[in-house]
Amino acid sequence: MKYLVTYDICKNKSRKKVSDILEGIGIRVNLSVFECELNQTKLNQLAKKLSDLANPKTDSIRFYRICENCLNKSFEICDREEIFESIDLYV
């Protein structure tokens, strides 16, 4: 399942931790927006990790599921990688 994950975190330290976690599993498409391919287990684990870092009174973390139908209708104006394009990462 494809998700768009967005966040608005007030504290720099927490924001950096959220960013680091998301960079490890998704592709950054904006300063606080990531495209992620997640199964249900990974989604649950990620939501738990991120909720532990967020202050529910001041912060916001949102997950938007992108269906395959909607994905085909998505586009970007800039010349960058395709949305949710598969890339090979080597460690």
Binding-site residues for Mg(2+), in ranges, read 8
* CB 25 within 8 Å of CB 46: yes
Query: Alpha-carbon distance 76 to 38, whole Å?
Result: 22
* CB 36 within 8 Å of CB 5: yes
Which positions make up the binding site?
8
